[in-house]
């Protein structure tokens, strides 16, 4: 078999066309106001700066506005908390993104959790995670939510599937598992210290690679016909899964790059538009 390519770039482009119309409608109803995403970048990490720029560009493509807040690497936790508090209180801001990672002196979790639930469009707060895990209203973490949207677009029904998620980060592996459980999949969570990881992966109808190590998950671990989602990206254009041999064995596969990555930013923008709609209507 030849694997169906789960094309995140294509789905993101289709979504941007829809979001542009929603933003235009919102502007007509609210005297020209648009949803606004505030991005906070602490320090001068080049990769983080690039990601923030990409998010600003995505805002502009759908007619939204973005507000870029750049703070020096010497910023302390209390200073950052005050910035976030001001954004929480600003009625013109509908989404808040704190770019990860923050410098080591900052208590990142405290700063994430300062973000108001209704503006937590990146799905990073403990409150948002808890509500999502309980099936209550909240914005899901952008990467796993993007993966769920990608699977839905290609009509991959998770009900009854055995999904194996390799990775347990609070913004990817853990929320991914909860979202798939909510969609009636049977979920196994593994990680880099799982004993006999190969045997767990071999049972999977759907594999999510989110462990953060290049090609850590080998192709020969994955059974024929599985759906393969690679959420990793490393220098050289490789992900967390050895994808090459799976092109003729998997039923569906996310390319690296061009699969999960575009859906992450796209989901952030979509959730900011939703937040704007709630606030501006």
Active site residues: 55, 99, 122
Q: How far apart are CA 208 and CA 201, in angstroms?
A: 10
Q: How far apart are CA 233 and CA 240, in angstroms?
A: 7
Classify residue 70 by its DSSP letter. Answer: E
Cα angle for residues 13, 275, 39 (degrees, 5° grid): 75
Question: b/e string for 106-132 if b means 16 or more Cβ within 10 A?
Answer: bebeebbbbbeebbbbbbbbeebbebb
Structural element, H or E, at residue 206:
strand 206-209
Whether residue 169 contacts residue 144, with contact meaning beta carbons closer than 8 Å, is answered with no
Q: How far apart are CA 150 and CA 12, in angstroms?
A: 9
Classify residue 62 by its DSSP letter. Answer: T
Structural element, H or E, at residue 229:
strand 227-230
Cα angle for residues 140, 64, 80 (degrees, 5° grid): 60
């Amino acid at each position: 078999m030849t694997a169906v390519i789960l094309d995140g770039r294509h789905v993101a482009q289709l979504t941007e066309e829809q979001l542009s119309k929603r933003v235009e409608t919102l502007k007509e109803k609210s005297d020209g106001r648009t949803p606004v995403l505030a991005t906070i970048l602490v320090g001068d990490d080049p990769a983080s700066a690039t990601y923030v720029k990409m998010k600003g560009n995505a805002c502009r493509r759908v007619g939204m506005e973005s507000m870029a807040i750049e703070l020096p690497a010497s910023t302390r936790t209390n200073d950052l908390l005050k910035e976030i508090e001001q954004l929480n209180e600003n009625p013109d801001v509908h989404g808040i993104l704190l770019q990860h990672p923050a410098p080591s002196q900052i208590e990142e979790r405290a700063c994430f959790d300062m973000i108001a639930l209704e503006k937590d469009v990146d799905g990073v707060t403990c409150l948002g995670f808890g509500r999502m895990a309980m099936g209550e209203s909240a914005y899901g973490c952008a990467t796993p939510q993007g993966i769920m949207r990608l699977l839905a677009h290609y009509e991959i029904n998770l009900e009854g599937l055995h999904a194996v998620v390799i990775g347990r980060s609070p913004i990817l592996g853990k929320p991914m598992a909860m979202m798939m459980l909510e969609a009636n999949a049977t979920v196994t969570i593994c990680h880099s210290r799982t004993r006999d990881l190969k045997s767990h992966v071999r049972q999977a109808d759907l594999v999510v690679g989110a462990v953060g190590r290049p090609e850590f998950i080998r192709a020969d671990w994955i059974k024929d016909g599985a759906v393969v989602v690679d959420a990793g990206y490393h220098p050289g254009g490789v992900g967390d899964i050895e994808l090459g041999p799976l092109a003729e064995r998997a039923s569906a596969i996310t390319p690296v790059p061009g699969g999960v990555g575009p859906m992450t930013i796209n989901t952030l923008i979509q959730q900011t538009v939703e937040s704007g709609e709630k606030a501006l209507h």
